[in-house]
Structure 1
Amino acid sequence: MTDSLIAELRDRAAALGFEAFGVAAATARPDLPEKLNQAIAQGWHGDMTWMAETADRRGSPTGMWPEARSVIVLGMNYGPETDPLALLGEKLVGSISVYARNRDYHEIIKGKLKELAGLLARRSGEAVKVFVDTAPLMEKPLAEAAGLGWQGKHTVVVSREFGSWLFLGAILTSAELPVSAPHVESCGSCTRCLDVCPTAAFPAPFQLDARRCLAYLTVEHKGPIPLEFRRPMGNRIYGCDDCLAVCPWNKFASVSREIRLRGRPELERPLLADLLQLDDAGFRKLFAGSPIKRIGVGRFLRNVLIAVGNSGEKALVPLVESRLEDPEPVVRGAAAWALRELDPERAKALRDKALARETDPEVVAEWSGDR
């Protein structure tokens, strides 16, 4: 019965668009608590305080749900049709991480997981819970234990079939299921993902300091982008795909499949000038259903202004000036920096007037050149 159930679940998962399927014991990674605590002790989680707050539960599926016996891990290929790094040379275009060009992957996957979990519950009579990166569950090491691939030197799951482009989801269950063979780490001597990182965010292979990662800084970080990372940001306005895109295993990621996660055309190469003119309503309309919507218009415009400052395009100065009196300090500060980068003389002319009305210390520091 169990083998036939796994076969049925695997077939149904494939029909739902999951191209990777594996099972691990809920206790398959006893090493996780120590690794997690070491990363937190180093402060590598940055502003993501929830990682420390949930460390006891995050270290093991059974810490979160004691009844868990098995975890089914599923992967959905979202490999892009073109090289995302090609956009980095187009200074007037904003580069959005591949995963965010479609509608929110949480929404794409969660309903499918619930359907599959429902089938498991009906067939086994056991309890189930579904997770898509929204609870203290460490999907990547569990995916490794379940045989989907291995955590590469960039800490992302790498698959022999789909490279570094897998959305992950998990089903915890009280059912005892036969486990898959774990995948052996297969990076070899390759260090492309480490070498390409524009901010040296990897202290060592298989370790990530989020505080230096552009994906973290443009998405999770709430304050001003630290000065040392602004020019390395280039035109990356949401996320960073560099370490994923250079992985040699990506050559297999273009395998044809029935369900393809295509990016929305308007998010493939949006113009910075257009994005800089978005108000809150326009932002919500453009990014409806997108994970980008969650960061809010202020942090998004902060990112766009950094990209504009890096563009070298002086024609954008009037649009930058229009943001100098934005209600959100993080936007005003980024606008001050962008203006100083594009037109130092104009910034100098506006400096005293801006400082006379500015009350936010972070923005004052931007105008004063103290960053």
Structure 2
Amino acid sequence: MTISISEAVRKRAHDLGFDVCRFTEVESAWPAGARLAEYVAQGRHGEMDWMAETLTRRSHPRAMWPAARSAVVLGMNYGPQHDPLTLLDHPTRGAISVYAQGDDYHELIKGRLKQLASFMASQGEGELKVFVDTAPLMEKPLAERAGLGWQGKHTNLVSREFGSWLFLGVILTELALAPDAAGQDHCGQCRACLDICPTKAFPAPYQLDARRCISYLTIELKGPIPVEFRAALGNRIYGCDDCLAVCPWNKFATSAREKRLHARQALKEPRLSDLVQLDDPTFRLLFAKGPVKRIGRDRFIRNVLYAIGNSGDAGATVVVEPLLSDPAPVVRGAAVWALSRLHGAEAFETLRLAHLPGERDEDVRAEWAILPPREGQAA
């Protein structure tokens, strides 16, 4: 029996490791473009200038490629083997977002997409293009339109089958494929994702202010993280899973079947005191296969220092103090803040007097102006 191209594509996608494959048309109106324009106009994208620079191309899938008629939207489950929220109760350990504990999904999924695209090209006429996250294409609205799930109140995709844990990939094609039914919102009255956010990054349901989001602050923001958010970071050193992990739909989620997406042992519960001592070569070695490497050693150590400042571990001052002389101002400044939280007033004042006169960087001098801890805090 001859099967349709859609059925053939679904089968091939599953064989390549994708957990869901659905189709949607891309020729009709695209309300997501107007919502993104308003988001950028409000400045909620923060320092992610690429959002504004590529706004026109993001406004509609066909703005990316006018010949496109359909989208093949694919999801790969990266469900964790543990509850990410439990690590937040261990302040001397670093919490790295689930998606970044395994191999870089960009490279994994793009390779599989190219294989699927080659298969599609062999099955029918028409050009096609592959996209995974880095291109100016709005994958989540496409995934909702194709029926992979819906954008929840935290603006991320939610699946009734996979919960919060789907990586997305898209193939745009000139073929007119029969569209699947769109996803329907099943959030109901639940607001668990909104209420759990440590920095109150959701001004309203279905709205996100990236400037307050821990994922943005620890990954996209290049300079010092604003003081008002540092305590709320807790031990989160790369991204944040709180709004994803708390979703009730995760009761149906399963762990990833793709082993390259499983957490590497070294990244499950790393000691902050070990991570903060990474130099550039050891940082690159530890994160060689994962997405953490893209923020670079200095920003990563900045995050680790803030987490150490939140840990209450006064013994960590031994590994923090040498970083007061680190070449990177963002590291020196974060070290100042961490020590201001861990040292008693007298010890911190001694450090301040020793280092401030030689500190030329204005941002770091401002960090030294932080008031020492109140009497009774860790010394």
SS in 2 for 1:188: coil
Find the counterpart in structure 2 of residue 366 from structure 1: 367
Equivalent-residue separation in structure 2 for 1:259 and 1:282 (angstroms): 24
Give the partner amino acid of 1:358. E
The answer (yes or no) to whether the contact 2:94–2:235 under 8 Å persists in 1 is yes
Give the partner amino acid of 1:362. D
Alignment CA distance shift 1:256-1:322 (3 Å) = closer
Alignment CA distance shift 1:25-1:227 (3 Å) = same
Q: Does 1:253 align with 2:235?
A: no
Find the counterpart in structure 2 of residue 284 from structure 1: 284
Aligned 1:328-343 pairs, distance under 5 A: 328-343=328-343
Equivalent-residue separation in structure 2 for 1:297 and 1:3 (angstroms): 51
Aligned 1:1-371 pairs, distance under 5 A: 4-28=4-28, 30-254=30-254, 257=257, 261-343=261-343, 344-369=345-370
Structure 2 unaligned spans of 5+: 373-379
Structure 1 unaligned spans of 5+: none
Give the partner amino acid of 1:234. G
The answer (yes or no) to whether the contact 1:18–1:75 under 8 Å persists in 2 is yes
Shift of 1:347: 2.0
The answer (yes or no) to whether the contact 2:105–2:261 under 8 Å persists in 1 is no
Shift of 1:29: 5.1
* Alpha-carbon displacement from aligned partner over 1:18-70 (angstroms, at most 9, x marks no partner): 11111111135510221011100111100000000100001111111111111
The answer (yes or no) to whether the contact 1:132–1:169 under 8 Å persists in 2 is yes
Equivalent-residue separation in structure 2 for 1:183 and 1:300 (angstroms): 37
Give the partner amino acid of 2:288. A
Equivalent-residue separation in structure 1 for 2:91 and 2:371 (angstroms): 26
The number of equivalent residue pairs is 371
Which segment is superposed worse, 1-10 or 130-139? 1-10
Shift of 1:368: 1.3
SS in 1 for 2:57: helix
Equivalent-residue separation in structure 2 for 1:240 and 1:29 (angstroms): 33
The answer (yes or no) to whether the contact 1:29–1:142 under 8 Å persists in 2 is no
SS in 2 for 1:324: helix
Equivalent-residue separation in structure 2 for 1:339 and 1:293 (angstroms): 26
Equivalent-residue separation in structure 2 for 1:352 and 1:256 (angstroms): 52
The answer (yes or no) to whether the contact 2:81–2:255 under 8 Å persists in 1 is no
Shift of 1:358: 1.2
* Alpha-carbon displacement from aligned partner over 1:338-357 (angstroms, at most 9, x marks no partner): 00000033221011232211
TM-score by length of 2: 0.95
The answer (yes or no) to whether the contact 2:95–2:238 under 8 Å persists in 1 is yes
Shift of 1:318: 1.4
**Post-superposition, which runs of at least 4 consecutive aligned residues in structure 1 deviate over 6 A?**
none
Equivalent-residue separation in structure 1 for 2:2 and 2:242 (angstroms): 41
Equivalent-residue separation in structure 2 for 1:259 and 1:368 (angstroms): 48
Alignment CA distance shift 1:315-1:28 (3 Å) = farther
* Alpha-carbon displacement from aligned partner over 1:59-94 (angstroms, at most 9, x marks no partner): 111111111111111001111111000000101100
TM-score by length of 1: 0.97
Equivalent-residue separation in structure 1 for 2:278 and 2:257 (angstroms): 36
Alignment CA distance shift 1:73-1:28 (3 Å) = farther
Equivalent-residue separation in structure 1 for 2:234 and 2:256 (angstroms): 32
Shift of 1:3: 6.5
Give the partner amino acid of 1:50. W
Alignment CA distance shift 1:334-1:157 (3 Å) = same
Equivalent-residue separation in structure 2 for 1:27 and 1:240 (angstroms): 35
Give the partner amino acid of 1:237. I
Equivalent-residue separation in structure 1 for 2:331 and 2:261 (angstroms): 32
Equivalent-residue separation in structure 1 for 2:29 and 2:214 (angstroms): 28
The answer (yes or no) to whether the contact 2:80–2:256 under 8 Å persists in 1 is no
The answer (yes or no) to whether the contact 2:103–2:261 under 8 Å persists in 1 is no
The answer (yes or no) to whether the contact 1:78–1:260 under 8 Å persists in 2 is no
Give the partner amino acid of 1:88. L
Equivalent-residue separation in structure 1 for 2:30 and 2:371 (angstroms): 46
SS in 1 for 2:11: helix
* Alpha-carbon displacement from aligned partner over 1:269-291 (angstroms, at most 9, x marks no partner): 00001101100000000000110
Equivalent-residue separation in structure 2 for 1:156 and 1:253 (angstroms): 15
Alignment CA distance shift 1:84-1:256 (3 Å) = closer
Alignment CA distance shift 1:174-1:47 (3 Å) = same
Q: CA RMSD in A?
A: 1.7
Equivalent-residue separation in structure 2 for 1:360 and 1:74 (angstroms): 47
Shift of 1:222: 0.3
